[in-house]
């Protein structure tokens, strides 16, 4: 067990020595991989920031619940308590019918006409502010409230949410397509790099096979090289995104100051950063594995 760990550590050290042996070519490959990865990841970061800003500008979604005219005060108190305890509701506001009638008199200028009414035609209402911003969850909450007794009419103000969801869905698909295309490009870069290494080390590989080295032993340095190249390329992408966001936030601060607002673009979270490094390392390993699997079997001792 200890000897196997030492072998892996020696291979890792040899891998980084090989990267440092050709600093110019290694740096160029890492920059290309970093740029390729930074494009879809940068699009993902901007999409998350745009989603947050759009939700702030659009405001909090509301569900208006209009009660039946014969709803008693005891029933209103019970509904108020049940709505406050509902897991999908953040908070509520109660709009009594008398206050609604007074506001209607002030806003329409028909005080004489409204004052001549024998009874108040307006219902009591609850203004509900949900926890979730997702369209599907908002609709589920609306449908649930429609089944409550005395809830005469339930209205969800969701037109903006549908538009935002459609726009974000389109943007997510565009980022996903870009990520898939550039992932293939990263695999191709690693594939070609490993292929050149195998060809330049052909004689060493033949000698290793003559003295009994297994394919797994010969394959291991190339796989580590691909993994290290992918991992460092992911780190380069992370650095490119961080610098870009810093520059954008600097310009954005001047822009928001002119409009008397304040918001900044958020960087990748810790989990997203780990996912980026892990995914880029996997792509590098996959490109190396494909290249070794295709070319190593062709080399046999002569």
What residue segments make up the domains of the chain, in order of their start? 2-57+163-298, 62-157
Q: Rg for the chain (alpha carbons), in Å?
A: 31
What is the pTM assigned to this prediction?
Answer: 0.65
Q: Nearest-5° angle of CA 198, CA 201, CA 203?
A: 120
Provide the Cα torsion 36, 286, 280, 204; round to 10°.
-90
Residue 26 near residue 19 (C-beta atoms within 8 A): yes
Q: Quickly list DSSP for 52-78.
A: HHHHHHH----EEEEEPTT--HHHHHH
> Quick one: tokens of 54?
């759009």
Average pLDDT over residues 100-129: 63
Is 183's pLDDT higher than 50? yes
CATH value of 62-157 in 3.30.70.3040, 3.40.50.1780, 2.40.50.100, 2.115.10.20: 3.30.70.3040
What is the rounded average pLDDT for all residues in the chain?
Answer: 78
> Quick one: tokens of 170?
């389109």
pLDDT confidence tier of residue 276, bands split at 50, 70 and 90: very high
Burial class (CB within 10 angstroms; exposed 0-12, middle 13-18, buried 19+) of 248: middle
User: CB 219: neighbour CB atoms within 10 A?
Assistant: 16
pLDDT at 166: 77
Tokens 């909450």, residue located: 141
pLDDT confidence tier of residue 126, bands split at 50, 70 and 90: confident
Q: State which H helix or E strand residue 229 sits in.
A: helix 215-258
Tokens 């001792």, residue located: 301
Is 113's pLDDT higher than 80? no
């Amino acid at each position: 067990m200890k000897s196997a760990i030492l072998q892996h550590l020696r291979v890792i050290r040899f891998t980084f020595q090989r990267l440092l042996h050709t600093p110019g070519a290694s740096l160029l490959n890492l920059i290309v991989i970093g740029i390729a990865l930074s494009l879809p990841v940068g699009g993902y970061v901007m999409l998350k920031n745009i989603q947050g800003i759009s939700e702030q500008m659009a405001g909090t979604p509301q569900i208006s619940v209009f009660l039946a005219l014969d709803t008693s005060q005891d029933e209103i108190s019970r509904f108020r308590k049940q709505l406050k305890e509902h897991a999908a509701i953040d908070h509520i506001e109660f709009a009594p019918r008398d206050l609604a009638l007074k506001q209607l008199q002030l806003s329409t200028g028909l005080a004489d006409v409204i004052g001549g009414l024998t009874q108040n035609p307006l219902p009591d209402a609850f203004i509900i502010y949900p926890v979730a911003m997702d369209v599907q969850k908002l609709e589920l909450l609306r449908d649930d409230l429609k089944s409550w007794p005395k809830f005469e009419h339930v209205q969800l103000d969701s037109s903006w949410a549908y538009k935002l969801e459609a726009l974000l869905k389109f943007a997510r698909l565009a980022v996903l397509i870009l990520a898939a295309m550039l992932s293939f490009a990263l695999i191709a870069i690693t594939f070609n790099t490993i292929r050149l290494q195998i060809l330049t080390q052909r004689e060493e590989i033949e000698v290793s096979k003559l003295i009994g080295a297994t394919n797994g032993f010969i394959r291991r340095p190339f796989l580590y090289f691909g993994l290290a190249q992918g991992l460092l390329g992911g780190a380069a992408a992370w650095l490119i995104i961080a610098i870009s966001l810093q520059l954008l936030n600097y310009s954005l601060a001047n822009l928001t100051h002119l409009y008397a607002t304040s918001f900044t673009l958020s960087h990748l979270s810790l989990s997203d950063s780990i996912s980026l490094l892990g995914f880029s390392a996997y792509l590098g390993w996959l490109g190396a594995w494909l290249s070794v699997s295709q070319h190593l079997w062709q080399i046999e001792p002569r």
